[in-house]
Amino acid sequence: MAGGAREVLTLQLGHFAGFVGAHWWNQQDAALGRATDAKESPGELCPDVLYRTGRTLHGQDTYTPRLILMDLKGSLSSLKEEGGLYRDKQLDAAIAWCGKLTTHKEELCPKNPYLQDFLSAEVRASVHFLCLSSGSPPLTTATTPKPLIPTEASIRVWSDFLRVHLHPRSICMIQKYNHDGEAGRLEAFGQGESVLKEPKYQEELEDRLHFYVEECDYLQGFQILCDLHDGFSGVGAKAAELLQDEYSGRGIITWGLLPGPYHRGEAQRNIYRLLNTAFGLVHLTAHSSLVCPLSLGGSLGLRPEPPVNFPYLHYDATLPFHCSAILATALDTVTVPYRLCSSPVSMVHLADMLSFCGKKVVTAGATIPFPLAPGQSLPDSLMQFGGATPWTPLSACGEPSGTRCFAQSVVLRGIDRACHTSQLTPGTPPPSSLHACTTGEEVLAQYLQQQQPRVMSSSHLLLTPCRVAPPYPHLFSSCSPQGMVLDGSPKGAAVESIPVFGALCSSSSLHQTLEALARDLTKLDLRRWASFMDAGVEHDDVAELLQELQSLAQCYHGGDSLVD
């Protein structure tokens, strides 16, 4: 790989993971297609960490995500399982059989209107490029094409807004379970585990892993985006176990994903969600270097809590399209350390820093967007937070205020270099120690030291913002196109990029969260949920689960940070 990139292979397991992944890959694609901005430092993030080069049968060079995704029958809509880049129509038409043929043609699923517009725009861009290459005058249109923006009503599945081409070995469908309908659903942890115990699916996953891994020069590890609330928690647990067995010494960072709020009236769904989340967390922790739950909900347990609030975001927590966009933005920020071009922190080192003394579960938080107003400097903006935790919690572990942080990895991105330090008139006394700092890195490090003086903090400051161009939903209020906070933004102003402040933290809040999860489990009468147990879970497994949860919770009770 160019520049000796430390490659990462991504696994997306589940339908909500598909939503988060679609936004994630769209954001990577937007960053790839962005012309170098004078205000940004070129090449801060290395795309080769996540992408691979290839070539089609016709000799066309490709650049596609290094990705394996698993979902259920009926979840792809108009997206073909083999993708569209490598398809050879002549080979498709070639049939060796010379006898009588009967053709059974399945009715094609109609393309989402956004994707139809997007593909038309791709064709226009290709024609424009060919005209320029041949010296012919480019084709012109009478009007400027309008931006391609999908409507919430048009989004049913994640493939409805994915604008990235995938490699034919990326998509792996689990045909024995259905995405739609009430029957044949992948609902329970045991069902998910059994999927990867079947030789068919295990061999298919192993073949795809070998294909991607064998072409890597410096594989640093795997990131797993996995649904926690349904049977994919079991798929993720078995996949992590397989990775740990076959690729010992590589980093495995798992992002356990849960969709929006739930309601008390859905008893079976809530109990299954509780059991799947608990089994998933414990088993994924056993086989991963680091595990981080990601959710906009307020609780992992049975008691519903309202979704989290962001001061400058207006989102609908019932829409996976909205929730996944926010979580993908946070993910795009907190994963920066192991995607850097210069002096990257490997996945293994990041996990080791955060997971000391058995603390392999961490929480995430983010400020989206980071509130920098025109004319403000970074010290000005940080001082506005006072002593409060600056980021919104994203791991359904409650408010972080009053909790203890043992170690943290922090990323602030998208702040113009001219705003990094305070530009005080000579002779003016600095309003705070942050205003006296001479670099942005010093400002951020000192701020973290003031907030958490006894905590090991790793921090990164990047000029590169997070891309939020369509198909990212319109969520931002009172923001400029570059994400700066305004007193009154013109209605309908399109936000293209935003600054984001994100963190991964080993937090004492996990003690209360994991204990509450264990308490909710002890209240269950498992005889009422025989269908979950029949899927491959024994009563002894539940007893062992409770013990593991309580032991894991105890890791976050009291104790000291790394620098005490």
CB atoms within 10 A of CB 548: 19
* SS3 category, 52: strand
Structure-derived torsion over alpha carbons of residues 355, 357, 361, 362, reported in degrees to the nearest 10: -60
What integer pLDDT is reported at residue 102 of this predicted model? 60
Q: Is the CA virtual torsion 542, 546, 548, 549 positive or negative?
A: positive
**Tokens read off for 525:** 């009468």
| Interhelix angle 539-554/509-522, nearest 10 degrees | 160
**Is residue 470 within 8 Å of residue 149, measured between CB atoms?**
yes
Query: Which position has the token pair 């064709």?
Result: 123
The pair phi, psi for residue 357, each rounded to 5°, is 60, 35
Look up residue 238 and give its two tokens: 């078995």
- Cβ-count burial 416-447 (b if 16+ within 10 Å, e if not): beebbbbeeeeeeeeeeebbbbeebeebbbbb
Structure tokens that stand for 476 in this block: 């931002």
What CA–CA distance (Å, rounded) separates 281 from 276? 8
Rounded Cα distance, 440 and 434, in Å: 9
| Residue keyed to tokens 């996945």 | 347
DSSP H or E segment with residue 351: helix 347-354
pLDDT confidence of residue 492? 54
DSSP 111: P
Q: How many Cβ atoms from other residues are within 10 Å of residue 479's Cβ?
A: 21
Tell me the C-alpha distance between 118 and 134, whole Å: 24
Maximal CA-CA distance, the chain: 93
CB 537 within 8 A of CB 194: no
Q: Collapsing DSSP states into helix, strand and coil, what is residue 256?
A: strand
Q: How many Å apart are CA 26 and CA 68, to the nearest integer?
A: 16
DSSP string, 55-104: E-TT--EEEEE-EEEEEEET--TT--TT-SSS--HHHHH-----S-----
Q: What count of Cα atoms within 13 Å lies in the side-chain half-sphere of residue 351?
A: 24
Rounded to an integer, what distance in angstroms lies between the CA atom of residue 540 and that of residue 518?
A: 15
564's CB contacts (< 8 A; 6+ apart) are: 454
Q: What is the DSSP pairing of strand 392-393 with strand 363-367?
A: antiparallel
Rounded-to-integer distance, Cα 196 and Cα 176, Å: 12
- Cβ–Cβ < 8 Å for 281, 513: no
Reported as type and span, the H/E element at residue 11 is strand 8-13
Q: Report all structural domains of the chain as residue ranges with CATH numbers, in order of start.
A: 7-80+154-358 (3.40.50.1440), 365-510 (no CATH), 512-555 (no CATH)
CA distance 124 to 189: 46
pLDDT values of the chain reduced to their tens digit, one per residue, 564 residues: 445 789 999 999 999 999 999 999 999 999 987 644 545 556 899 999 999 999 888 888 999 999 999 999 888 877 888 776 766 444 344 444 556 656 555 555 566 666 655 555 554 444 333 344 445 444 433 344 455 677 787 899 999 999 999 999 999 999 999 888 777 789 999 999 999 999 999 999 999 999 999 999 999 999 999 999 999 999 999 999 999 999 999 999 999 999 977 776 678 889 999 999 999 999 999 999 999 999 999 889 888 789 999 999 999 999 999 999 999 999 999 999 999 999 999 999 999 999 988 899 999 999 999 999 999 999 999 999 988 889 999 999 987 777 889 999 999 999 999 999 998 888 889 999 999 999 999 999 999 999 988 899 999 999 999 999 999 999 998 889 898 988 765 555 689 999 999 999 999 999 999 999 999 999 998 888 888 888 888 889 999 999 999 999 999 987 544 444
In one-letter notation, the amino acid at residue 429 is: P
- Amino acid in position 26: N
Do residues 129 and 123 touch, judged by C-beta distance below 8 A? no
User: What six digits make up the tokens of 434?
Assistant: 């942050």
Q: Which secondary structure element, helix H or strand E, spans residue 125, and what is its range? A: helix 113-134
Query: How distant, in Å, are the alpha carbons of 490, 506, 518 from that of 511?
Result: 45, 11, 11
Helix 232-246 and helix 267-287, axial crossing angle in degrees, nearest 10: 10
φ, ψ of residue 77 in degrees (nearest 5) = 55, -125
Distance CA 174, CA 230 (A): 14
Query: Beta partners for 313?
Result: 476
